[in-house]
Amino acid sequence: MSYYTALLDANVLYPAPMRDLFLQLSVTDLFRAKWSTDIHREWIEALLRKEPHRDRRALERTRDRMNEATRDCLVTGYEKLIPSLSLPDPDDRHVLGAAIIGRCDVVVTVNLEDFPAEALVSYGIEAQHPDDFLSNHLSLSPGVFVSAVQKVRRRLKNPPYTVKEYIENLTLVGLTATASNLQKFSDLI
């Protein structure tokens, strides 16, 4: 089991293709994934704003399944830290608080500018873009990574995705380097 621990920000849990890949990699113990109820609330609300036709109860079932499938993922007790934390966007302090209490090594987020190194370094935490995080893990453990990608792609039934379509979908959600690096493993995905 890996002890490298990543707090996944809401923008990593939504969109679904990114969330699915991160979760599959986490349950294979390539790294430990963590999040909080506030982070769940953020990704669900963002999705409902963008796609108001979505069923909130279905999204909450997804949240519950995520919590059940991912060992020791839910961080609690970080709320007391929030007032003492300083970030460019005060609304992101709960993310840093959860990362601190969750003893995370990294905050994985699309919004790197909201988590500057100088605000995180004293806590022993860094921020990484999800594409960089995934590309690094693909380089470190290609067999485990590609097997996880294969599982995610094969679970997709409505609609099913060819390998090419799946890799293109990763590009569409901003995982361009990861998608590019996966091209050489197409026969295994």
Q: Which residues on neighbouring strands pair with residue 7, listed in sequence order?
A: 34, 107
Residue-wise pLDDT for 55-109, tens only, equals 999 999 999 999 999 999 999 999 999 999 999 999 999 999 999 999 999 999 9
CATH code of the domain containing 112:
3.40.50.1010
d(CA 176, CA 170): 7
Residues spanned by the domain of 11: 5-130
pTM of the model: 0.95
Please tell me whether residues 10 and 83 are part of one structural domain: yes
Return all residues near 16 (Cβ < 8 A) that are at least 6 apart. none
Domain endpoint, select from 101, 130, 159: 130
The secondary structure of residue 94, as a DSSP letter, is: H
Percent of the chain's residues with pLDDT above 70: 99
Please tell me whether residues 122 and 51 are part of one structural domain: yes
Mean pLDDT of 45-51: 96
For residues 99 and 107, is the Cβ–Cβ distance under 8 A? Answer: yes
Please tell me whether residues 84 and 19 are part of one structural domain: yes
Please tell me whether residues 76 and 155 are part of one structural domain: no
Please tell me whether residues 104 and 159 are part of one structural domain: no
d(CA 110, CA 15): 11
pLDDT band, residue 122 (cuts 50/70/90)? very high
Question: Residue 2: what pLDDT?
Answer: 74
pLDDT band, residue 47 (cuts 50/70/90)? very high
Number of domains the chain is built from: 2
Domain endpoint, select from 80, 115, 130: 130
